[in-house]
Amino acid sequence: WWYIIKKVYRAFFGLSDADIGAVVRTSDEKKKAAALKKSQKGFSLLKSQAFVVNLLFTIACTFLFVYLSVSVSNDGEVNSFDPFHILGIDTGADTKEIKKAYKKMSLMYHPDKNPNNPSAEAMFMMVAKAYEALTDATAKENYEKYGNPDGKQSLEVSIGLPSWLLDTDNRNFVLMAYLLIMVVVIPFSVWRYYSDSSKFGEKDVMYDTYSWFHHTLNEHTINKSLPEIFAGCAEFRQKNMPKTQAEKEEIGKTMTKVRSQMQKPKFNHPVCVKGNVLLHAHLLRKTDELSEGLKADLKYMLRVSSSLIDAMIS
C-alpha cells in the first residue's frame, strides 16, 4: 500500500511542471505542454501494467487479510472463552436467564435441526460448554481461574484453514486449484520473469540494443545518422513495426516532409524507417501533422530515450 500511495501522490501532487519538462516559454509550446501534462500526470501515469497488477494483488491480499481476521475474531479458537457472549446474555445474568438462553441456543444449533452443518455442530458444543461454565461449580471455578471450564490447557500451535477448504464437497475444486497454481501459474510467472529480466542489461537497456550499438557505431559515424541508429533499438522493434497499410502510407507521407533534412537511410527495415521518420518529425517540429497513434509511438520513444542515449554514448 505504501508503494501505491506514493505512486498516486506522485501522479496527482508530487510532480511539478518543471519535473516533467512542461515549462512553457513560448506560445507555440502551450499545446505541447498541455499534452505532456496529460500524459505524465494524473491517471495516465497510473496505467502501467506493473502498477495495475500490484494494485489488484494488494487489494486481493487486503480483502483476504480482512476476511481471515473477521473469521478468527468471530469463530476462531484464538478468542478468549466468554460464556456470557456465547449465550448472548449480559455479564452477571442470573441462573434463570442462563437456563433460558441455553435452552434457546441449544435448540437453535442442535445437530438434528442442522444436519451436515459443521459450524452449527461446533456452536452447539460451545453453547453446552458455556452453560457448564456458568452452572457447574467445578467448571465455573476452572473458568474463573484459567479462562476455560475444562481447566488449564496446554498450548497448541496449528495452521488455521477456512472450513470450505476442508469440506469434502469442495475437494475436487481445491485439488484442481492447487494443481493449477503449482503446475501452471507459478512456473509461468517464474519463466515470464526470467525471460523478461534476461533481456535487459545495465540501466534497463536490452542486450540486443547494446549489440546493435556495437554493430552500427564506430569512429566514422556522423551525427546525422544517429537518429536512424537510435530508431533501431530493440526496445522499439515490436512497437514500431507498422501494422496496417494506412500506417505505412502515413509514414511515407511524413517522410516526404522531412526527407530534405534526413541522412540517406542506411537500413530499410520498417522499424528503422518508422522510428527515423518520427524522430525527424519531432526534431523538425512537425508532430502536429502526425496521427494520434504515431504520436503515442513517438512519445514512447522519447520517454525511454534518456537511458538509451546514455547507453549509446557509453
Q: Going residue by residue through the chain (314 aa), what tens digit of pLDDT does each one get?
A: 888 888 888 777 776 766 666 666 777 667 777 776 676 677 777 777 777 888 888 999 898 888 877 766 655 444 567 888 888 888 878 888 989 998 998 888 888 888 888 888 888 888 888 888 888 888 888 777 877 777 776 655 566 666 677 777 888 888 898 899 999 989 988 888 888 778 888 888 999 999 999 999 988 888 899 999 999 999 999 999 999 999 999 999 999 999 988 888 899 999 999 999 999 999 998 888 899 999 989 988 988 888 899 998 88
Start-to-end CA span in the chain (Å): 37
156-194 CB burial, b ≥16 within 10 A, e <16: eeeeeeeeeeeeeeeeeeeeeeeeeeeeeeeeeeeeeee
Bridge partners, residue 206, by sequence: 200
Q: Which long-range contacts (CB under 8 A, 24 or more apart) does 72-77 make?
A: 72/160, 75/119, 75/122, 76/160
Q: Which residue has the cell 449480559?
A: 90
Which helix (H) or strand (E) segment is 6 a member of? helix 2-9
Question: Do 39 and 31 touch, CB atoms closer than 8 A?
Answer: no
Question: Do 133 and 151 touch, CB atoms closer than 8 A?
Answer: no
